Amino acid sequence: MNHKKFEDEFKKLPSYQRLIFIHGERLFIRDADVYRVIAVQAAYEFQVRKS
């Protein structure tokens, strides 16, 4: 799954509103292909393994 598709799906989650309020525009920042916000990284890893 590519990052853009993941981020679009992530934005549909109920918890997205809370996370975007806390982290703002930094929510989807990646460093060396790893999301800096651990909740987003965990969700991404889960989605990749599930695929």
Rounded average pLDDT over 25-42 = 97
Kind plus residue range of the DSSP H or E element containing 35: strand 34-35
Rounded average pLDDT over 24-44 = 97
pLDDT band at 31; cut points 50, 70, 90: very high
pTM greater than the 0.85 cutoff: yes
What pLDDT, on the 0 to 100 scale, is given for residue 11?
98
What pLDDT, on the 0 to 100 scale, is given for residue 33?
92
Q: Which domain holds residue 43?
A: 3-50
Domain count, the chain: 1
**Rounded Cα–Cα distance for residues 16 and 13 (Å):** 5
Nearest C-alpha neighbor of 37 from the set 49, 50, 25, 51: 25
| Percent of the chain whose pLDDT exceeds 70 | 100
pLDDT > 90? residue 24: yes
